[in-house]
Structure 1
Amino acid sequence: MEDEVLAEVANQLYAKPLDDFVGARTTAAKEAAASDKELAAAVRALPKPSVAAWAVNMLAVHQPDVLAQLTELGGRMRAAQASLDAASLRDLGRERRTSLSAAVETARSVAQENGRAISDAMAGDVEETLRALTADEGAAAAVRSGRLLKTLLADGVNAVDLDGTVAVPSVLPPAAAAPASVPAASAGSQARTTAAAPQQRKPAKPRLEAVRQTPRPASPPALERARAALTEAQAAEAGTARAARELQDQANDIRTEIAELLQETADLRARLRTAEEQLERSKKRLAATVAEAKQAVRAADKAGRTAVLAQERVLRLGNTRD
């Protein structure tokens, strides 16, 4: 089984309305089993996405230009960060806030059109995922695949953790290239970029620091450190809350899947009982028919003997008259 084949099947499944996922997965696995048992098992193992992740997938399927624009914006932000262009970073930060707000509203609309309303909490998860797309090339590839399983979170410094976040991770769209140049960068900034580029770029772990309105002081005062610690704690709390919501969504999805399987099992058992009852009735009819056939054979034998005796009597009476 090739991952590309599994990815093609997964693309079709994750593009469907969320409530149709389990049934479509079962059908796809049955179809694959006819020619490739390994592929069928892999299809059955494809997880159902969380509601928020599904909403992002709907963007990838129905509004890919929205994700393309955010990906391009993320590339410009990383280039500006690499060149230490604070002015561009401030402008790009404002542009990102506007773009994310519009993208979330588009995700709400697309999800509604495909059978699911998105709550404010889920919309927040969608926004965090799209923010991660702008911060990390790997996250961008995962989101643009349309096979997201759960939402993403970027801390603004480290690479986004993509473990278990996308189906068939071995087959992802190529990462978008950063712009060749950054508008409004000074000659000094460009010179620093040229000198620092080998140290700033790490293809294996793309990084994007949070946009700052002012440069960070060399020795931040105690209040600033306390605020930074508070921000970090609040981010950790938000991340934990999002993880809890995702797990709750997954639990609800599993409950729904179990209910569907229980109903299917009950239907199969009812069909089995009906078939067994029909089998018993057929056996009884067969036994009655066999008994009637035996009686008919005995009656035919008796009638045959009677006919022979009658014929013999006729012959005797005929001979006596002569």
Structure 2
Amino acid sequence: MQYLRTSDDCFEGLSGYSFAPHYIEVDDFEGSKLRMHYLDEGSKEGEVVLMLHGEPSWSYLYRDMIKPITDKGYRVIAPDLIGFGRSDKPTQRSDYTYQRHLDWIRNILTQLNLKQVTLVCQDWGGLLGLRLVAEHPELFARVLAANTMLPTGDHPPGEAFMKWRAFSQEVPEFPVAGIIKGATVTALSTDVLNAYDAPFPTEEYKTGVRQFPLLVPAATDDPQTQNNRKAWQVLQQFNKPFITAFSDSDPVTAGGDKIMQKLIPGTQGQSHTTISQGGHFLQEDQPQQLAQVLLQFINDNPILTN
């Protein structure tokens, strides 16, 4: 598999992002390996919080949430999906599939031997993370879902998503930072916007971010429709603590929290919340508020040991 690797120079001096890089190797399904980047912060003895980003962000999105969590003794793992951040970037559209992304991110669980995981997932972080919860429920202790969903294509994805999908394919130059800016409600500094662009020095590095919108199951003939339906069958039996923390200003995922609360038994009795003054990327708009919701959720639902 042909891929590009963003130079380390692109990540020097990024605003608020001074974390040490870590890497694992994952199968490229063509007889070679790709390098996947992840952050590993906090106590190695602490409970694991796995933070999964989506499109077209990277682990930089979680930078302001990490310290409040690690200060309480937890270990934060925040990967960059293949094609994003400091991870390798295959150059062909066909290199990117929903199943491959799922298999790639599964390596974080298996290679790092993560157990009793608290998942924090937003955007594609949920499309991947919730599938992993369904396929490996024994590895997860809790789930916090924010501005995400696990679509099957059985219901129309909505006008906002379809407009976004069309834009992502038609725009001549894919404006990564511009997309982040347009999906937040707070003003982002030039330094922050530059950090979102940092992994993608030219258009050739953006194959993955271009392809991602097309991988969302939007119709019942999607290759992952059946697998996502099967995942929902498991999630409808998932009774471990599950909380929703959607924002108040995201037209793409609005209402998804109510569906989860209705269908997933682990949501019962939890203190679900709506994050005020938050756009789609609520980790950027309200990182401290979301971090406090997470800490309270963990505190309210301790892991029971025999």
Normalising by structure 2, we get a TM-score of 0.28
Higher strand share: 2
Higher helix share: 1
Normalising by structure 1, we get a TM-score of 0.27
Q: Larger Cα Rg: Structure 1 or Structure 2?
A: 1
